[in-house]
Amino acid sequence: MHRQIARFLAAASFSLAVLVLSLPAHAQNPNQPQQGMPNFNGRPGQKQERTNLTGTLTAAQAPLIKLKPEKGNQEWTIRVDSKPEEIIVRGEAEKGWVRPGMFVHFEATLDKKGVGQSAVSQVSVFTPTPQLELGVTEQAALPDFSSAGSEEATESTGEEVAKYTVVGRLSGVARDGKWSVTAGKAKVTVEVAEDAKISVELPDPRLIRIGDTVKGTVYYYNQGVGVLRGDVEVEAAEPFAAPEDPRDARRNRRTREKDAPANPAEAKSIFDM
């Protein structure tokens, strides 16, 4: 789930239904769809209907998912026929979740060498399109820093500072946490605040987890059983977390094994089930 954006794009040849084919079957888990395929076909001559459905993802087992709708009490069993590029996952992430190779967009105060002068507070992680040009665009020059002495400081250092919009690829993260971003022909180095708001919008079904909100058009003959086609919007229920430090992971794993075995019902990702 924390792979580079290049691998995100490699998923474009598979649908969500195909992606979950690797999930093991747990027939004894009541939260899983029951064995056997539901009847998605109506009676002869029966008219197919459609509805815009928004609901919470409660279970996933190839090739089906289950949704609990916002309205009504009937849970839906759904087959997902949408293409990966039609499934947009949105959410927020911890700073450490963003990895080299991902494409980012932010505003920053930079000097002429492309070095950030203050911590970036907001970042967007996205998938590039041919229509979107990567690069650094100047917004406005900043003649002073709110004090009379700042003008003298600028003259003495020869540095000019301005506000820029940066659209590029995260190429590296230094030991001190600073980001190196390649934006077209420009290279930018910035510090990102630890509490920065990281917004994510990616066409990657692998980011979908149990508890997320799914919105799309469902085609059906009978209430509660349908097929999801076309554009799908997924809102992540929880932020995407930074990878756990290997030493902490080993220590926490030993603690869990000592206290109690892992409970499959508590899995946060449909790929952990």
Per-residue pLDDT 10s for the chain (273 aa) are 444 443 443 343 333 433 443 333 333 344 444 456 788 888 888 999 999 999 999 999 867 999 999 988 889 999 999 998 999 999 999 999 999 999 999 999 999 999 999 999 999 999 998 888 999 999 865 544 343 334 443 443 456 889 999 999 999 999 999 999 999 999 999 999 999 999 999 999 999 999 999 999 999 999 999 999 999 999 999 999 998 765 654 555 555 455 544 443 333 444 443
**Is 194 within 8 Å of 176 (Cβ atoms)?**
no
Structure tokens at 230: 């076309």
Could you tell me which residues come within 8 angstroms of residue 202 by beta carbon, excluding any fewer than 6 positions away? Answer: 5, 8, 88, 89, 125, 126, 127
- Quote the strand ranges of 149-265, DSSP E: 161-173, 179-183, 186-190, 192-202, 213-222, 225-235
Give the pLDDT confidence score for residue 154 in this predicted structure: 43
DSSP H or E segment with residue 252: helix 246-259
> CA angle, corner 24, sides to 210 and 98, nearest 5?
45
DSSP H or E segment with residue 64: strand 64-69
User: Is the backbone peptide bond immediately before 205 cis, with ω within 30 degrees of 0?
Assistant: no
Give the pLDDT confidence score for residue 245 in this predicted structure: 66
Is pTM beyond 0.85? Reply is no
Distance CA 173, CA 170 (A): 8
